[in-house]
Structure 1
Amino acid sequence: MERDGNAWRLTDAGSAHLTRAFPGRPVTVFLTPNGCALWGLAEEAASVIDHGSVRLLLTSPPYALTTKKRYGNEVGQDYVDWLCSIIERLMPVMESNGSLVINLGDAFIRKSPTVSLYQERAIIALQDRLGLHLCQKLHWHNTSALPVPSRWVGVERVRLKSAVETLWWLSPEDRPYADNRNILQPYSDRMLELIAKGGAARSKRPSGHACREGSFSVDNGGSIAPNLFTIANSGDQSYTRSCRAAGLPPHPARMPIELASRLIKFLSRPEEVVFDPFGGSGSTARAAESLGRKWITTEALREYVEGAKLRFADELLPAAA
């Protein structure tokens, strides 16, 4: 293993020993009262999940990076075709008014300080080929992001570090279930003062928007969240330590549990099903379990499934312990 910023990851020699699933029916590795972790290929999951049962498909697939990663990735048009083919095979498991959220990050073009348009091409293809609606672009600001790509940011100093990733929110319908009241943010001190004095005075802003007398006088329990989630990805050290203690490689690309939690609360209700076809370290599953949702994950590399299992030491059903 080798150190990479705040995380430990396998060297190329170590990655050769990861156990990849074969095509076919996924295998159940562990169960909890609310969920099921499968070892298998993402595109095979539709064979074992009830059609029309998933409220939220939340996932972070491998990005279209020009450098191959141990968890697998395509590049260019091959990536667009690959992602569309997997989503197409998984669409039958979703509720008609369910949501699909795909977390993607920027990829720089090989040997160039310019950014690939693979994300935009993939989303346009998902709309054109599968008829999916783009509900909104959400963004994740990782306040602990490393200064990458290192050549352009740290060496030549001609670019800013990439610290924002896009969460593409799509759905088969244009009005999927969502409720922003589930992720309200605390009011600012200024807003609390405004509510206490009975709201704003009548005014007209330079932008042309008018404010009527008494606006913002009602306490709704918090302010509406913006489409920017500011959450540090500091490495999830407890997960990393557990993997190392068990002799397992930690997954190198982990979504923060807090980010998964906010999306789950926004786009699903308790007891509904959340599905992550690229389960990775189990962040989506862990968040869903804690929030009282049903969950399913698939992951192609067996060692990563075993690492995710460590997140559920107190919830494993006896047969899977």
Structure 2
Amino acid sequence: MSDMLEIRDLTRRFGGGRTIFGTTKPQLTAVRGVSLDLKRGETLGIVGESGCGKSTLARMLVGLDRPSEGAIRLDGKDLTEGGAKALAARVQYVFQDPVSSLNPRHTIRQILEAPMKHLLRLNGSERKKRLADLCEAVNLNPDFLVRYPHEFSGGQAQRIGIARALAAEPDVVVLDEPVSALDVSVQAQVLNLLDRLKRERDLTYVFISHDLAVIESVATRVAVMYFGRVVETAPSRKLFAAPLHPYTDLLLNSAPVPGKQRLRAGGDTGELPDPYNPPSGCAFAERCPRVEEDCRRIDPPLEAKARGDDHRAACLHPLPAD
């Protein structure tokens, strides 16, 4: 599989500058130099605690937020440049809250037709045909097209959100916690739908979630984020079988599993560092059970360790290879 989407040194800062009185405004960096490659046809899972920068990264990938630094390239063309609107249709977004992401004043027909009109420039007959195709693809009753978003359950609304993303005929779909607001039984239905659509339409997914069980079931490759940085990447099976970074190990041991007592490393506060006053060295040092003196001085790069080029970690003292 070839690299389809390239993310290079992506950074997003909020705040900063000066007030009218000349005082400095506080600034935080939500995403810190993230570099990732997305291969055609894969599902890249992105995991991490709340506040790690997952959603900010997702918003930059689809153009809802502009990076402060870095580049996003789709098939070699820069999406961060001014002429990227034509390419933007190729990367679409599925939101976390299915109901609030839909315009309450528009019917489902108007919502689904908007990408067809403004991105694909389809005429009336073409839109009618495509609407029928979308309804069939997401198992949506065509009679629902005249209704409004508040008339649907969360699972139905998320199917509409998925159909809206597909209406632009994208190559890449960014899914930001697409099942976290749904009941467990509905989650399974939506995940099965996404898997089928991926196979039938040759889609590529960026799947963002804090639910490790969901990521393990859908992702072919996983990137773990902490405090705005990617701290470990690996094929899904490798990462879940034997993580390298202590933070990834902490996440796996903290995830609730039926019949298993939840574990947390001794002394871990569970709190991220202050984003307005980031620490020097490794941001995970204060929570890490393997911390050494050099961890507080050196910010480790994301690099391959002893388990091959496809398993990389940003850690000076990674977990031992089995």
Pair in the same fold by TM > 0.5: no
TM-score, normalised to structure 2, is 0.28
TM-score, normalised to structure 1, is 0.28
- Which of the pair has the greater relative contact order for Cα pairs under 8 Å at 6+ separation? 1
